[in-house]
């Protein structure tokens, strides 16, 4: 996934010159939009778990409660260099404790830093961009309740030309969309869609990418090469996955497939998060997956 | 130059022969994991309510899991039998750099299986909570040492 994104960025670095700096500038959210909102930390906790923020931002090898210390430091290697997740704990210096809600919203739904730079889409704001404003405020309120860490964020080890953040602006023009991908005809399907498309970013792993590293939404959840190079991430489309809705919900709860193999790879972290959600949420995701059309 | 070529040729010939040699090991370890999955499935189906609870069956399956956990799996993982070296296996090369950790994860599985063994005969309700740690132990090892499906 990261490899394809970076190849895309290289091509777009050239394009950025042509498209003009104006088009590729950062678009933070307007301050007024979030001013009236008060976050609810309890609601934020569910969003945080479903979105898997800790899975990427806890310290490498953290276990148990230490996973709630968002010190950063996990490395996401690729052929072109390595991204390192930053400290997003409430520490005012090393983390993001000094940020405003508007700064946070710009990062999570627009992929823009407080200084106005573009974040790399290794941070899945491409999914989070579909969140409601209130959800963002709730997430922010929950993050304040977590422990501080004074661990300094480690710079990415990404070489020229992939280090040109401006190119991400051109990439976003093509791929940062906040429309929903699938229709949802019931309240349950709507909930499932929020979990799949906005929060748990299932598509980031299960959907193949085009030459520029953008998700091929036409092949939504149809399976993709594993970015770590180990095998293939399975398709969730009906012609490939014949599990019942309760099989899918049980897998998300326990990690067990219908023949009692047990989930591995990056899916293990997703299962650990979904085990903490409600049965209704797991069933909503299962309903969404069962409603996917054949490719 | 010629020498390099002939050395390469020897390697080219050697690889399939070696692959054959490990055929039994691959079958054995994959069979062992299938044995685990089948026994776990007997209990899991009861926990889910897909099968009628049967105390004796549940106990037998849990005992089997514990018995497997008491074998040393490393004999089934000879050097050179990783997914990088051979077709038909998902065992990642990282296993051979971390055999101590692999064994630690294996004993974590043994401990969780022991917990299941203690309650398997106590009725359907007792199964779910004891299955959780077993699933975590399986996933913890697959997470690091098994490739996704080919």
| pLDDT one-digit tens code per residue, A223-242 | 998 766 667 899 999 999 99
Residues of chain A with CATH 1.10.760.10: 38-175
Q: What is the pLDDT, as a whole number, of residue A64?
A: 87
**Which pLDDT score, from 0 to 100, does residue A217 have?**
93
Annotation-wise, does B100 bind a ligand? no
| Mean pLDDT within B45-69 | 96
- In the three-class reduction of DSSP (H, G, I as helix; E, B as strand; rest coil), residue A81 is classed as strand
Kindly report the nearest CA distance between residue B139 and chain A, in angstroms.
5
Nearest to B44 among A233, A260, A272 (CB): A260
Q: What is the pTM of this model?
A: 0.89
Sort out which chain B residues have CB atoms less than 8 A from A259's CB and list them. 37, 41
Per the CB < 8 A criterion, the answer to whether A208 and A190 are in contact is no
Interchain CB distance below 8 Å, B142 and A226? no
Residues of B with Cβ-Cβ distance to A261 under 8 angstroms: 33, 37
Question: Between vectors from CA A231 to CA B141 and to CA A233, what angle results, nearest 5°?
Answer: 90
Comparing C-alpha atoms, which of A144, A111, A146, A114 is closest to residue A129? Answer: A111
Q: At what angle do helices A245-254 and B23-48 cross, to 10 degrees?
A: 110
The residue whose two tokens read 């940020």 is A99
B133 is in an annotated binding site: no
Segment A207-223 mean pLDDT: 91
Whether B150 is covered by a domain: the verdict is no
The dihedral built from the CA positions of residue A74, A216, A131 and A52, taken in this order, carries a sign that is negative
Q: How confident is the model at residue A25 (pLDDT cuts 50, 70, 90)?
A: confident
- Nearest Cα to A64, choosing from A271, A263, A272? A272
Q: Which two tokens stand for residue A142?
A: 């929950």
In terms of Cα–Cα distance, which of A182, A221, A275, A211 is closest to A11? A211
CA end-to-end span of chain B: 37
Q: Return residues 11-70 of B near A (CB < 8 Å).
A: 33, 37-38, 40-41, 44, 48
- When pLDDT is averaged across residues B27-43 and rounded to a whole number, the result is 97
Task: Report the range of poorest mean pLDDT among A137-151, A152-166, A180-194, A195-209.
Answer: A152-166
* DSSP 8-class letter at A146: S
Residue B24 forms part of a structural domain? yes
Q: Given this model, what pLDDT does residue A4 score?
A: 62
Q: What is the mean pLDDT of residues A72-80?
A: 81
pLDDT in the model for residue A2: 62
Q: Which two tokens stand for residue A291?
A: 């409603």
Residue B7, pLDDT > 90, answer no
Q: How far apart are CA B69 and CA A187, in angstroms?
A: 45
* Alpha helix ranges (H) inside chain A: 2-19, 31-35, 41-51, 53-57, 101-105, 125-128, 133-144, 166-175, 187-193, 202-206, 245-254, 267-274, 279-290
Task: Please tell me which residue of chain B has the smallest CA distance to A272.
Answer: B136
pLDDT of the residue at B4: 41
- Chain-wide mean pLDDT for chain B? 88
The token pair that represents A119 in the structure block? 């974040």
Q: Is B53 a member of any domain?
A: yes
Can you identify the CATH homologous superfamily of domain A38-175? Answer: Cytochrome c-like domain (1.10.760.10)
Q: Would you place residue A164 in the very low, low, confident or very high pLDDT band (cuts 50, 70, 90)?
A: confident
CB A232 to CB B135 under 8 A? no
Residue B1 has pLDDT above 70, yes or no: no
Q: How far is CA A295 from CA A198, A223, A287, in A?
A: 22, 11, 17
Give the per-residue SS3 of A44-57: HHHHHHHHCHHHHH
Q: Which CATH number goes with the domain that contains B84?
A: 1.20.120.10
B123 is in an annotated binding site: no
Q: What is the mean pLDDT of chain A?
A: 90
Residue A174 has pLDDT above 50, yes or no: yes
The greatest distance separating any two alpha carbons of chain B, rounded to the nearest whole angstrom, comes to: 71
Separation CA A24–CA B9 (nearest Å): 53
From A10-19, A56-65, B130-139, the region with the lowest mean pLDDT: A10-19
B30 part of a folded domain: yes
CB B147 within 8 A of CB A229: no
Q: Over the stretch A118-146, which tens digit does the pLDDT of each residue have?
A: 999 989 999 999 999 999 999 999 999 99
Percent of chain A with pLDDT over 70: 91
Which domain covers residue B52, as residue numbers? 2-145
Which residues have a Cβ under 8 Å from the Cβ of A162 and sit 6 or more positions away?
A6, A9, A10, A80, A81
Tokens 């609870």 locate to: B53
| Mean pLDDT calculated for residue range B3-31 | 62
CB neighbour list of residue B2: distance below 8 Å, 6 or more residues apart: none
pLDDT given at position B14? 42
Dihedrals phi, psi of A241, to nearest 5 degrees:
-120, 110
A187-290 carries CATH number 1.10.760: yes
Does the pLDDT value for residue B17 go beyond 70?
no
| Model pLDDT, residue B117 | 98
When divided into structural domains, chain B yields a total of 1
**Please, is A71 exposed, middle or buried when counting C-beta atoms within 10 Å of its C-beta (0-12, 13-18, 19+)?**
buried
């Amino acid at each position: 996934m990261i490899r394809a994104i970076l190849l895309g960025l290289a091509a777009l670095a050239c394009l950025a010159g042509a498209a003009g700096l104006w088009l590729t500038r950062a678009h933070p959210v307007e301050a007024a939009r979030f001013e009236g909102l008060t976050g609810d930390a309890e609601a934020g906790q569910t969003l945080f778990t479903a979105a898997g923020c800790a899975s990427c931002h806890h310290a490498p090898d953290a276990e148990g409660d230490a996973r709630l210390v968002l010190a950063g430091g996990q490395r996401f290697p690729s052929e072109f260099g390595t991204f390192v997740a930053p400290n997003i704990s409430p520490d005012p210096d090393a983390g993001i404790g000094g940020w405003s809600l508007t700064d946070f919203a710009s990062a999570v739904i627009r992929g823009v830093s407080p200084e106005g730079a573009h974040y790399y889409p290794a941070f899945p704001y491409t999914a989070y961009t579909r969140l409601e404003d209130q959800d963002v405020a709730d997430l922010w309120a929950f993050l304040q309740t977590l422990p501080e860490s004074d661990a300094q964020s480690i710079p990415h080890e990404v070489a020229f030309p992939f280090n040109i953040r401006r190119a991400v602006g051109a990439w976003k023009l093509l791929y940062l969309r906040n429309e929903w991908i699938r229709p949802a005809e019931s309240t349950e399907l709507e909930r499932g869609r929020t979990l799949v498309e906005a929060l748990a970013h299932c598509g980031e792993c299960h959907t193949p990418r085009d030459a520029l590293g953008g998700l091929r939404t036409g092949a939504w959840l149809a399976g993709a090469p594993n970015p770590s190079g180990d095998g293939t991430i399975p398709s969730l489309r009906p012609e490939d996955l014949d599990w019942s809705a309760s099989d899918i919900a049980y897998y998300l709860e326990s990690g067990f497939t219908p023949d009692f193999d047990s989930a591995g790879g990056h899916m293990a972290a997703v299962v650990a998060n979904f085990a903490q959600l409600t049965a209704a949420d797991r069933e909503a995701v299962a309903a969404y997956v069962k409603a996917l059309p054949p490719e | 130059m010629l020498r390099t070529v002939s050395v390469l040729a020897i390697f080219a010939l050697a690889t399939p022969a070696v692959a054959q040699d490990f055929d039994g090991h691959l079958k054995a370890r994959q069979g062992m994991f299938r044995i685990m999955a089948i026994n776990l499935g007997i209990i899991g189906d009861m926990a889910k309510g897909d099968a009628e609870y049967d105390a004796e069956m549940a106990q037998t399956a849990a005992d089997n899991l514990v018995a497997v956990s008491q074998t040393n799996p490393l004999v089934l993982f000879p050097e050179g039998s990783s997914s990088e070296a051979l077709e038909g296996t998902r065992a990642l090369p990282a296993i051979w750099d971390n055999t101590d950790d692999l064994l630690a994860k294996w004993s974590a599985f043994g401990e969780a299986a022991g917990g299941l063994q203690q309650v398997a005969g106590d009725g359907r309700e007792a199964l779910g909570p004891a299955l959780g740690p077993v699933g975590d132990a399986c996933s913890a090892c697959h997470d690091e040492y098994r490739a996704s499906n080919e």
